[in-house]
């Protein structure tokens, strides 16, 4: 069964850091690009970052560029998001979807992990 | 940057009725358009990709159409489990989602 499980969320103070993880199973992890998408409470979906299957190419939304770093460990089938200089507006559920069988659309999603930035 | 808009923001429909949701892109995205359904406390679920192809396991009452900048999601006969928020998303460029349409019970 194809599965994505996010973890690492929690409460952090403004200016603080947090590292999210996404454990993948049921598919050849290294063959697929991965993304992070977030959803602020009561709001819509926002794409945050993406990384190629090899990890050699990374992409960021302007809202997180310079503060967040996406990476992956293909030997551990795990995706990461290092979040620094966190702001209140980064408060959201963070998902790590991927595109396996739907020609560019996100067909596999995890359950998400909640990040709250507050003093 | 491609901006996605959706209308209406809320659609009130009775069970068994047809629902038509619209999505517009600020510039052409060809057919690189997906639709997702999201229920409270759950992750989004892919319904449609390539503007009109149903994802695996999606019932035939869901259909998508359009290309370029104008797209439509139609639910032919609403079931109780279809009341949810629906998002469109373009993947012709960096992924961008619309603000969503909430389908609630009339």
| Cβ-based interface (< 8 Å): residues of B facing A | 32, 34, 36, 43-46, 49-50, 53, 55-56, 87, 89, 91, 94-100
Gyration radius from chain A CA atoms = 13
User: Quick check: helix, strand or coil at residue B55?
Assistant: coil
- The residue with tokens 């930035």 is A117
pLDDT of A116 > 90? The answer is yes
The answer for residues whose C-beta is within 8 angstroms of residue B76's C-beta and 6 or more apart is: B18, B60, B61, B62, B63
User: Quick check: helix, strand or coil at residue A50?
Assistant: strand
Per residue in B18-40, pLDDT tens? 999 999 999 999 999 999 999 99
> Which chain A residues contact residue B94 at CB under 8 A?
47, 59, 61
What average pLDDT is seen over chain A? 97
User: Across chain B, where does the E strand assignment appear?
Assistant: 4-7, 10-13, 19-25, 33-38, 45-49, 53-54, 62-67, 70-75, 85-90, 96-97, 101-105
> Sorting pLDDT into bands at 50, 70 and 90, what band is A103?
confident
Out of B55, B97, B98, the one facing A102 most closely (by C-beta) is B55
Q: Mark which residues 7-26 of A lie under 8 Å from B by CB.
A: none
Per residue in A43-76, pLDDT tens? 999 999 999 999 999 999 999 999 999 999 999 9
> Sorting pLDDT into bands at 50, 70 and 90, what band is A102?
confident
> Sorting pLDDT into bands at 50, 70 and 90, what band is B89?
very high
Express as a percent the part of chain B with pLDDT over 70: 100
Cα distances (Å, whole numbers) of residue A51 to A54, A65, B19, B34, B91: 8, 14, 36, 20, 15
Handedness of CA A111, B98, A70, B55 (dihedral sign): positive
The answer to whether B89 and B36 have CB atoms below 8 angstroms apart is yes
């Amino acid at each position: 069964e194809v599965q994505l499980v996010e973890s690492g969320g929690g409460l952090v103070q403004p200016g603080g850091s947090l590292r999210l993880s996404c454990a993948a199973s049921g598919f050849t992890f290294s063959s697929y690009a991965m993304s992070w998408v977030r959803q602020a409470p009561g709001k819509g979906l926002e794409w945050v970052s993406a990384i190629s299957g090899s990890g050699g190419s990374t992409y960021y939304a302007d809202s997180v560029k310079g503060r967040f770093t996406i990476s992956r460990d293909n030997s551990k089938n795990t995706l990461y998001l290092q979040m620094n200089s966190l702001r209140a507006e980064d408060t959201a559920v963070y998902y790590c979807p991927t595109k396996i069988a739907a020609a560019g659309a996100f067909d596999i999603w995890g359950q998400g992990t909640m990040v709250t930035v507050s003093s | 940057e491609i901006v996605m808009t959706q209308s209406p923001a809320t659609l009130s429909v009775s069970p068994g009725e047809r629902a038509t949701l619209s999505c517009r892109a600020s510039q052409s995205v060809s057919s690189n358009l997906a639709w997702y359904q999201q229920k409270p406390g759950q992750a989004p679920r892919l319904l449609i990709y390539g503007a009109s192809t149903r994802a695996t396991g999606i019932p035939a009452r869901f259909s998508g159409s359009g290309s370029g900048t104008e797209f439509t999601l139609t639910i032919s006969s609403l079931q109780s489990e279809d009341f949810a928020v629906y998002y469109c998303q373009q993947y012709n460029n960096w992924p961008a989602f619309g603000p969503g349409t909430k389908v609630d019970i009339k």
